[in-house]
Amino acid sequence: MLAYLIRRLFAAAVMLVVIILVVFGIFFLVPRWAGVDPATMFVGKQADPAAIEAVRQKLGLADPIFAQVWEFFKGLFVGRTYAAGGDVTNCAAPCFGYSFRNEQAIWPVLTDRFPVTLALALGAAFLWLIFGVAAGVLSALKRGSLWDRGAMIVALGGVSLPIYFTGLLSLAIFSYGLGWIDAQYVPIEESFTGWFGGMILPWVTLAFLYAAMYARITRATMLEVLGEDYIRTARAKGLTEPVVIGKHAMRSTMTPILTMLGMDLGALIGGAILTETTFSLPGLGQAVLKAISDKDLPVILGVTLITSLAVIVANLLVDLLYAVIDPRVRLS
């Protein structure tokens, strides 16, 4: 088990380094090769050429490519110093640089918004796992029944309807129409009750989409597992149906579910733009949407790296859960 963990940690570290290098190249080197100068984006197209050159020197854009990559990579772990003339600015680690628009350090901005997106992702994931997997298992056990057909119709609707439609519809019905839920976001440090109430509709809206997909995958996987020889053997030995389903069938069924969860949860941390926009949540999605409209490269880069790290961490946890659920992983 320890060797398995070491291999996975080493692979995750290598992947993180590769992603950092690729992302830096995409955001800072490729635009320059295409004739777009990041220094010009920082100060604006109408700026004095001397001001553009000063920013280029401050950001290190005039240095050789390998020096730029090294400074950026080093800044993520030990911080970075920006110097222009007699002015020296210290960017504490992890340093993602400074915003092109307000010249604020990127990391504090992202850490202020990250808890909102993380709470949205984890809360929705909890709901879609509980209801999606449960609906899929019941549909497989009651194949061809009224429940099976009804659940799959609802799942098909959940997959087909876009988030911004279901989000606006839930707001119109439960918040503006019936007045049951106050959808106004309140920071958790101000009021836990207000925060929880403001997160209910975003959680349910996001979970509805993913629960539909998980229900369909769970149903298909469970039907395949129930036809395996070891399930028939377990029943022939006289094991009760709850033991056969809960102890034997579910362990094999959860393997593809965990794979999906690792990818979905990691990607959701950086991709919940539509949900956050619909419900006006101050998360990473709102930040990156504004950064795209402002062409604020450091903010986009920071969100991209955080999203990549979230995907790596989520898949690392999934790999470790594989070893718990499936004993064959520990022997491989």
Average pLDDT over residues 130-147: 87
In the chain, % of residues over pLDDT 90: 0
pLDDT score of 254: 83
Measured between alpha carbons, how far is 186 from 193 in angstroms, rounded to an integer? 9
Average pLDDT over residues 119-127: 89
- pLDDT one-digit tens code per residue, 283-320: 888 888 888 888 788 888 888 888 888 888 888 888 77
Is 287 in contact with 293 (CB distance < 8 Å)?
Answer: no
Higher pLDDT, 283 or 268: 283
Measured between alpha carbons, how far is 121 from 329 in angstroms, rounded to an integer? 28
Q: DSSP code of 63?
A: S
Q: DSSP code of 54?
A: H
In the chain, % of residues over pLDDT 70: 91
Is 276 in contact with 120 (CB distance < 8 Å)?
Answer: yes
Measured between alpha carbons, how far is 179 from 239 in angstroms, rounded to an integer? 50
Confidence of residue 108 (pLDDT cuts 50, 70, 90): confident
Average pLDDT over residues 109-130: 88
Q: Where are the alpha helices (DSSP H) in the chain?
A: 2-24, 30-33, 38-43, 49-58, 65-78, 106-141, 146-160, 163-170, 192-226, 229-236, 241-243, 250-271, 273-278, 284-294, 297-325, 327-331
- pLDDT one-digit tens code per residue, 175-234: 777 777 877 888 888 888 888 888 888 898 888 888 888 888 888 888 888 888 888 888
Give the chain's mean pLDDT: 81
Measured between alpha carbons, how far is 76 from 159 in angstroms, rounded to an integer? 38
